[in-house]
A and B are shown apart, each in its own frame.
Chain A
Amino acid sequence: MSTAPQTLLDKIWNAHQVAAETAATPAILYIDLHLVHEVTSPQAFAELRIRGLKVRRPDRIVATMDHSTPTLPPDANGKRPYLDKATEAQVAKLEANTKEFGVELYGWNSSNRGIVHVMGPELGATQPGMTIVCGDSHTSTHGAFGALAFGIGTTEVGHVLATQCLLQRKPKSLSITVNGKLTKSVTAKDLILHIIGRIGMNGGTGHVIEYRGSAIEALTMEERMTVCNMSIEAGAKAGLIAADATTFEFLRGRERVPKGLDWDNAVKLWSGFKSDPGAVFDREVVIDAATIKPSVTYGTNPGMVIALDAAVPAAKDALEQRALDYMQLEAGHQLAGTKVDIVFVGSCTNGRLSDLRATASVLRGRKVADGVRMLVVPGSEQVKREAEKEGLHEIFRAAGAEWREPGCSMCLGMNGDIGKPGQLVVSTSNRNFEGRQGPGVRTVLASPLVAAASALAGVVADPSQYISEAA
C-alpha cells in the first residue's frame, strides 16, 4: 500500500477494485448498491433473459417506480390515472421483471415508495464508503453520504444485475471548498446553482467533485443531497461529501443500517472515508460562501445562472442568444419580476421534508397569485406522510397549491405533468433544458424559497420579504 495521502475518491475506489485497471482494460469495480427504476431497466432485464442469466445479488438492489407514475391518486375503483398505455405498461414491466428475477420492489403498496434518490437515504440503504449506481444521472445525490454514486446507462444496468460489477476507468478528482457561512435566504440550492454557474455546465466533466469546507460541513444531510444531486449538471461523474457526525446522526436507526455493536463498528469504518490531509486533487476551486446570493437560472442550461437581483447578462455567443430568445428574456433586464405561469416544488433535488417546510414557511397564511398553478410533489411516501403529520399539506392547499402523490413529476414530465408551450415554470428541479418540462416550456431553476415567493407574487420574486415576516 502506498503511504501517500489519499482522497476520499481514492479510498472508495481502492476498496472496490475486483481487478485494477491496466492500459488495455478498465478496472472491474464492485457495486454495493444498485437502484433500479422503470425507465432504464426493462432492456437490461431483457438482456439477462436472452442470455439465460440471473440477477447475481438481488439483496443489493432497491427497486421502485417514480418517473412514469401518475401524481394524482387512483379513482374510486383503484385505477391509477396513467398518462397513457405506454407509461402504465412500463411500470407493469418493472413489476413483472422484479418478480421474475426475485428482486424486491418498493411498489404501489409500499409505504416507502418514492423517487429512488429520496428513498435510498430514507431507508438507510445509502451508506458511507459505498459504491452506488442507478440508471439515472442524479444518482450523484447519494454522494452526500460519502458514497461514490453515479449514473449509468441501461447496458451497464445489465452488467450490474448480472455481475454486481462495472468496467470503469478512474475519474479525476476536483475539490470544491466553500468557506465561511451562507447568508440568510441563501439555501443549498442557491449554493449549487452558484457553483455550476461558476465552473460551467461542463466544468466537472471527467471528474468526481468533493465538496469541502466549513459551509459544506454546516449543511444538513438534506441540504448536502441537494448539492451533490446537481453535480451532474456541472458535468461531473459524481459529487462527494465526507461522512461526519451529521451523516451518522441521519442514518442512525434507519431500516437498513447496522444495529447495536455492528453500528459502532460501521461508524468506525465510515469515519475513515475522508480525504487525508495533504491529499492532492487534480483540480481545486475555492469559494467564499458569503458572496453567494439567492440564485436562479435564466437560460436553457444549468450553467446559465445569475443572482436573483442581477440583470440578465448579454449573450456571449449565438447559442446564448438563442437561449435568451427561447426564454423570452432581454439582456440588461431583471429576471425577477418576470410573469410566472407554474411553480413546481419537488424532485430528487428539492422534494424532501425540509424543502416542503421551507415552501410552507413562505406560503403559510397566504395565497398563490391568480393565474399561477402551483404543484407540490413530495419526494416519497415517507416525505408525504411526515409533511401531512405536520399539516404542511393544509398550508399548501389553503394557499391554492396542488398537493400530489410522490414521484419525479414535472422535473422531466414523463408522467404528463408538463406545462404548455411558452409557459414559464419556476421549478425546484435540476434541469432547465429546452422542452424538458414540455415542448416550448421555459424553466427557471430556483430554491423552494424562491419558488414559493414567486408563486405568491405571480412573478419571479425574492423570498426575503416573506421570510423576514415569518421569522
Chain B
Amino acid sequence: MNPLTHIQSRTAVLPFENIDTDRIIPARFLTTTERTGLGKSLFNDWRYRADGSEDPEFALNKPEARGCEILVAGRNFGCGSSREHAPWALTDYGIHAVFSSEIADIFRGNALKNGLLAVVLDEADHRYLLDHPGIELKIDIAAQTIELPDGRKIEFPLEPFAKHCLLMGVDQLGFLLQHEAQIAAFEQARAA
C-alpha cells in the first residue's frame, strides 16, 4: 500500500443518506477474483442508463466532477454488506477520501485498510461540504485537518493505528505477523 499523506482535490457530492454497498457496487460485479478493475462499475445503477450510456444527471458524471478524489456523502455511508469490493471500486475509480456524518463500521474498516480515508465529520462541517459541492480541499492526514478554499481548517478524527498505517503505507498483516510468538503462546495457554 502506498503512503497517503495529503489529498488535494475538488469534491464530488452525493447528498443521499444510507448509500449502501449494493449501491456502491451491485452484487453482480462481485464475481471477480481480483481487487482491481471495479472502478468502472462504481455506482453502476446510478451512473449508467439502461442502454449502458452514462447518465449525465448523476453527480459523478458531470464535467466538474471528473477527476475528483474526494467524495462527500450523506449520513450512514457504506451501510449493508461487508464486501471490500466497495472501497476497491472507489479507489480504483480514483476516490481517496470519503466524508460523511456517519459511516458504517465494516465499510470504514475496509476503506482504511485500502488507502481510502473514510472519516466522519461533525454535523456542521458535513453540512457545509454537502452545501458546497466542487470546492477545492487540502487534506493533511498527519495534522487531521481539511483546509477549505477560504483558509479555514476543519479537524477530523482518525483512529491512531489506521492513521499510522495510512501515513506509512504499512499494511496491518505485517503488524500481526510480528506478534507470532504472542499468538502461539495464547494458543498454548488455552490448550493447557
Measuring CB to CB, which residues of chain A are less than 8 angstroms from any residue of chain B?
18-19, 23-26, 28, 30, 39-40, 42-43, 46-47, 51, 53, 56, 67-68, 84, 86-87, 89-90, 93, 135-137, 139, 150-156, 158-159, 162-165, 167, 169, 171, 201-202, 205-206, 232, 235, 237, 301, 319, 322, 412-414, 431, 433-436, 439
Contact = CB atoms under 8 A, between A and B. Distances in A.
Contact of A23 (B23, B31, B83, B160): B160
B84 interface: yes
Contacts of B23: 433-435
B161 A163 contact: no
A232 B83 CA distance: 13
A439 B45 contact: yes
Interface of B: 16-18, 20, 22-23, 26-28, 30-35, 45, 74-76, 79-84, 87, 102, 104-106, 109-110, 113-114, 159-161, 164, 171-173, 175-177, 179-180, 182-183, 186-187
Contacts of A53: 177
Given A159-B176, A413-B28, A431-B80, A205 B102 contact: yes
Given A24-B161, A436-B22, A30 B31 contact: no
Contacts of B45: 434-435, 439
Contacts of B177: 53, 162-163
A90 B22 CA distance: 19
Nearest to A88: B31
Contacts of A232: 80
Contacts of A40: 82-84
Given A18-B183, A26-B161, A151-B106, A414 B30 contact: yes
10 contacts: A39-B83, A86-B31, A137-B81, A154-B110, A156-B113, A159-B172, A167-B175, A232-B80, A319-B74, A431-B22
Nearest to A319: B17
Contact of B183 (A28, A87, A434, A436): A28
A47 B161 contact: no
A435 B26 contact: yes
Given A89-B33, A155-B113, A167 B161 contact: yes
B176 A162 contact: yes
B179 to A, nearest CB: 6
Contact of A433 (B20, B33, B180): B20
B83 A19 contact: no
Contacts of A202: 18, 75-76, 79, 102, 104
B83 to A, nearest CB: 7
Contact of B110 (A56, A155, A159, A413): A155
Q: Identify the 4 closest CB pairs spanning chains A and B, nearest first.
A: A153-B110, A151-B82, A86-B31, A153-B84
A43 B159 CA distance: 25
A163 B172 contact: no
Nearest to B18: A301
Contacts of B30: 39, 67, 414
A43 B34 contact: yes
A24 B79 contact: no
Contacts of A155: 84, 110, 113-114, 171-173
Contacts of A414: 27-28, 30-31
A40 B87 CA distance: 13
Contact of A68 (B31, B76, B164, B176): B31
Most buried by A among B23, B79, B171: B79
Contacts of B104: 202, 205, 235
Contacts of B82: 40, 135-137, 139, 151-153
A97 B16 CA distance: 39
A412 B82 CA distance: 13
Contacts of B75: 202
Contact of A435 (B16, B22, B173): B22
A30 B106 contact: no
Given A43-B84, A137-B80, A412-B22, 15 more contacts: A18-B179, A19-B182, A28-B176, A40-B82, A84-B31, A86-B31, A137-B81, A137-B82, A137-B106, A152-B109, A153-B84, A163-B177, A163-B183, A167-B175, A171-B105
A167 B172 contact: yes
Contacts of B31: 39, 68, 84, 86-87, 89-90, 414
Nearest to A92: B33
A44 B102 CA distance: 28
A153 B22 contact: no
Contacts of B16: 319, 322
Given A155-B84, A434-B23, A165 B160 contact: no
B166 to A, nearest CB: 14
A111 B86 CA distance: 33
B170 to A, nearest CB: 12
A159 B182 contact: no
A156 to B, nearest CB: 7
A28 B110 contact: no
Nearest to A17: B186
Contacts of B183: 18, 28, 30, 56, 163-165
A125 B79 CA distance: 28
Contacts of B20: 301, 431, 433
A237 B105 contact: yes
- Chain A CB count within 10 A is highest, among B35, B45, B171, B176, for B176
B161 A153 contact: no
Nearest to B160: A24
B22 A434 contact: yes
A25 B161 contact: yes
B84 A154 contact: yes
Contacts of A39: 30-31, 83
A261 to B, nearest CB: 17
A84 B173 CA distance: 34
Contacts of A206: 105
A206 B172 CA distance: 21
Contacts of A435: 22-23, 26, 45
